[in-house]
Structure 1
Amino acid sequence: MGKKILYVEDDETLAFLTTDNLEHHYEVVHCNNGKKGFETFCTQAFDLVILDIMLPDMDGFQIAENIRKKNQEIPIIFLSAKTLKEDRIKGLKLGADDYLIKPYSIEELILKIEVFLQRSQKTTDKISIKNYSFGSFLFEPENYLVKNQHIKITLTEREAQLLKLFLDHPNMVLKREKILMELWGSDDYFLGRSLDVFISRLRKIIKEEPALAIENIPRVGFKWVVEEK
């Protein structure tokens, strides 16, 4: 069975052209307004979501935020004429996997779709993923959950991937480029800004753990520091 994509776009001409091209490769369900798009997401099963930002009834940011409350794993790609870096950063913070600026090429869109579908499939194919202990915390990568006897924190998918990367490389310097390529498959500047946000959140989680720290290595990257007991 082919992969099923939800595509939410109110520009009729663009929607027709994009849908017509994508349907050569995938099953595509198109919605022309935000409210209908989110309702459709809630009633059908999809493998990937493509969202415009400027939409009637509910904008793409709102849809993405609501989708992430229901599903942390499904890939989300924004397609938008909005070129401000703040908009790109906002989209990525909400849990989007990528952000393409209009006009975009169908070839590039399909390439990105394939990358995220393959990555999603690899995650699904993993039978079991080990849990990690650090400080007083237990980390369950499959559930994006960090917990101890006092608190439970649900991470975003990217935050969970970042934490796992650090835990797999204790006391090792990780270059920013390596982290970005591991998490997103790109070392784009705007993704780098999102990485800084994720680093900040992880630091808040471990701030009461004196033996743990995320150290900045200027102009290089970061190190997950674990002090020997």
Structure 2
Amino acid sequence: MNPSSFKILYVEDEQFLGRIVKDSLESRGFQVLMLPDGRQVIEQFKRFQPHICVLDVMLPYKDGFTIAQEIRQLEPKIPILFLTAKTQAEDAVQGFQSGGNDYIRKPFSLEELIVRIQNLLQLTQGQTTARSDGTITIGRYHFLPQRYELRLGDEVRKLSHRESELLSIFAENQNKIINRQDILMRVWRDDSFFNSRNLDVYITKLRGLLKDDPSIQILSIKNVGYHFLVG
């Protein structure tokens, strides 16, 4: 990954911290546009067209969560990293709900921030699409949804129709947050308690099917859904 080819929109109201972070990122070759508050973020986002957004949560005029929701409406797939001084788990959930891909708590090391930015960029830029034969790559696995097959090396695992439906949704959303209700409505056309319990069973099955690649995780996000990590 060549940092000079990537642009970062960085919103931070702490001037001293912002300057240190901006200088550090630019010293690594990134192009950085730093803004001090939420007033002109959307206007500058459209002009600058960044590859990733790094947003402080507590900002004057407009908070980072609101900004992220507005950015998501313009560009659904751009990675968003939150910087937050908050420590409550509910705040992390709110960050994911508003469209964030990752968050880091203050105070943080510059090296950790840079690594997280690089990881998000690699995941976004490297997302795999289906091959011409319909095969989708998920980590070390090859998924053939039309044949209901999941392959790992020479091993072929046959999937049920429901397993294949669910895995297709996760394959489409690698390294993204997937809303639980969206899954229920797409697969079962109903989000009843009974179907919700069925989903829990199938999530356990998927975790079992994918367990031979430790880089793949299906993380449960309480009251939200799942974060499908591949990488």
Aligned residues: 171
Deviation readout 1:74-122 (Å, 9 max, x if unpaired): 1100001011111110111122110111001111111111111112222
Q: What's the offset of the Cα at 1:2?
A: 2.6
- Code of the aligned partner of 1:108: E
Q: CA RMSD in A?
A: 3.5
* Cα shift at 1:217: 3.2
| Alignment check: 8 A CA contact 1:4 1:48 kept | yes
Report the counterpart of residue 101 of structure 1 in structure 2.
Answer: 105
SS in 2 for 1:20: helix
Indicate which of 15, 20, 23 corresponds to 2:23: 20
Question: Which structure 1 residue ranges, 5 or more long, are not aligned?
Answer: 133-140, 142-163, 174-178, 185-190, 225-229
For 1:217, the aligned partner's letter is V
Alpha-carbon shift at residue 168 of structure 1 (Å): 7.0
Aligned partners of 2:67 and 2:132: how far apart in 1? 30
Q: How far apart in 2 are the matches of 1:100 and 1:200? A: 27
CA distance in 1, matches of 2:14, 2:123: 29
Q: Which secondary structure does the structure 2 equivalent of 1:35 belong to?
A: coil
1:144-186 deviation line (CA, Å, top 9, x unaligned): xxxxxxxxxxxxxxxxxxxx9xx8764359xxxxx8xx944xx
Could you say which residue in structure 2 is the equivalent of 1:86? Answer: 90
Instruction: Describe the shift of the 1:118–1:206 C-alpha distance in structure 2 as closer, same or farther (beyond 3 A).
Output: same
> 2:118 is matched with which residue?
114
Task: State how 1:32-43 maps to structure 2 within 5 Å.
Answer: 32-43=36-47
Q: Are 1:7 and 1:30, in contact at CA under 8 Å, matched by a contact in 2? A: yes
Distance (whole Å) between structure 1 residues aligned to residue 6 and residue 187 of structure 2: 39
Matched, 1:56 2:56: no
What is the CA-CA distance between 1:127 and the residue it aligns to? 8.3
Verify the 8 A CA contact 2:66 2:98 in the aligned structure 1. no
Counterpart for residue 221 of structure 1: 204
CA contact 1:216–1:223 (8 Å) conserved in 2: no
Q: Retained in 2: the 8 A contact 1:215–1:222? A: no
Question: Quick one: which of 203, 207, 217 aligns to 2:188?
Answer: 207
The one-letter code of the counterpart of 2:184 is R
Separation in structure 2 between the aligned mates of residue 39 and residue 59 of structure 1, nearest angstrom: 16
The Cα of 1:48 is off from its aligned counterpart by: 0.5
Residue number in structure 1 paired with 2:7: 4
Distance in 2 (alpha carbons) for counterparts of 1:130 and 1:95: 32
Distance across 2 between alignment mates of 1:77 and 1:205: 28
How far apart, in 2, do the equivalents of 1:129 and 1:60 lie?
40
Tell me whether 1:47 sits opposite 2:47 in the alignment.
no
Q: Give the percent of matched residue pairs that are identical in Structure 1 and Structure 2.
A: 30
Using the size of structure 2 for normalisation, the TM-score is 0.63
Distance 2:133 2:62 in 1: 39
Instruction: Report SS of the residue matched to 2:199.
Output: strand
Per the alignment, in what secondary structure is the counterpart of residue 94 of structure 2? Answer: helix
For structure 2, the 5+ residue unaligned runs are 137-144, 151-158, 165-169, 208-231
**CA distance, structure 1, for counterparts of residue 58 and residue 19 of structure 2:** 17
Please give the alpha-carbon distance, in whole angstroms, between the structure 2 residues aligned to 1:115 and 1:223.
Answer: 24
**Are the equivalent residues in 2 in contact too, given 1:75–1:117 (CA < 8 A)?**
yes
